Amino acid sequence: MTQFPGLSRFERNVGGALSDPAKRGDFAEVKPYVDIAPGVQLGFERGNTASISIGEKADPSRSPETCVNQLVFSFSGSSRWLTLEIAGGWDDLDRAAQFQLGIYAKPSRIVDCRAVVRLPLGEVESEDVELASFRMPDGDACFNRTGSMRALESRRPEVARPPKLILFFDNRGALSLRLDYLTAYFA
């Protein structure tokens, strides 16, 4: 397996799906909130399914050499939300006040997105820290944003659940999205 040395655990988790040739496979149906790669999930209302495939990347310029795959997910069901959720580590967010986010993807249609960091507060509760809202065109898209966010407190090791980077996609219609690469780190 090719290790993907991301700056943050968020990047390492998504890189795990994009850097391992052994993970390639045809379209498979997935249920919500089930790992499609370690620490990476799709979120939508229960009763629906999405399909994913991991294949060899078509355009070598879209991601580093260590990323040999591209991940495609498609959702055409009925859900009030559709998310891509990537688990990270508390250490990445320790007293962070700024973020750097990069998403390299190709959606099947123009799609409005919102990126948040979800911080678990206990067993059930959580709070969201807004990072950015943006629109991706229907084609190869590179979204990069450097920004400030509400300053976070120091780590919460007592909370078992990890923080998550969540990308919300609008639910205006069926969406197929090819994810080429993602960067997310904090300082």
Partner 1 sequence: MINDVALAVVTFERPFAVQRLIHSVRNHFPTMPIYVADQSAEAALMADFYSAHAVQVIRMPFDAGLAASRNALAANVREPYLFLVDDDFVFGPMSDPGPAVEILEQEPDIGVVGGRLHDMQGARETVRNWEMFLHLDQRSRTLTCTPIYNYAPLRRVVGRHVIYMADAVLNFCVIRKEILTTTLWDERIKINGEHEDFYLNLKLHSHWRVAYLPTMAAIHHHMYGGQRYEQSLRGRTEGWTYILSKWEINQHLEIGSGTREIGGGVGAWFANARGERRDGSCWESMPGGHAQETGATGLMNWRLRTVDEKIENFDETNPGATLAFLLRYEATGGAPPVMEFRPGSATADALVLWYRLGSAHHGPSERWCSSVSLRWTTADGMPLIWKSDLIATQPASSEWWAAACVPVPLWPRGSAEIRFEVLADSGSGEISLGRGVLNAANG
Q: What are the residues binding partner 1 (CB under 8 A)?
A: 5-7, 61-64, 98-100, 102, 104, 142, 144, 146, 181, 183, 185-187
Shorter beta-carbon distance to partner 1: residue 78 or 133:
133
- Nearest approach in angstroms of CB 62 to partner 1 is 8
Query: Which tokens go with 58?
Result: 């078509």
Shorter beta-carbon distance to partner 1: residue 26 or 61:
61
Query: Which tokens go with 87?
Result: 């688990």
- Nearest approach in angstroms of CB 21 to partner 1 is 20
Place of tokens 């320790």: 94
- Nearest approach in angstroms of CB 161 to partner 1 is 24
- Nearest approach in angstroms of CB 99 to partner 1 is 7
CA 182 to chain centre: 7
The backbone torsions φ and ψ at residue 93, rounded to the nearest 5 degrees and listed phi first, read -105, 0
The CA–CA distances, whole Å, from 180 to 45, 55, 58, 125, 184 equal: 25, 10, 9, 32, 14
What strands lie across the sheet with 126-136, from one edge to the other?
A: 35-37, 40-44, 82-87, 164-169, 111-120, 126-136
Shorter beta-carbon distance to partner 1: residue 100 or 126:
100
Establish how many alpha carbons lie within 13 A of residue 169's alpha carbon, considering only the half-sphere containing its beta carbon. 29
| Alpha-carbon span 38 to 185, nearest angstrom | 18
- Nearest approach in angstroms of CB 178 to partner 1 is 15
Tell me which DSSP letter residue 155 carries: -
Shorter beta-carbon distance to partner 1: residue 85 or 180:
180
Shorter beta-carbon distance to partner 1: residue 121 or 187:
187
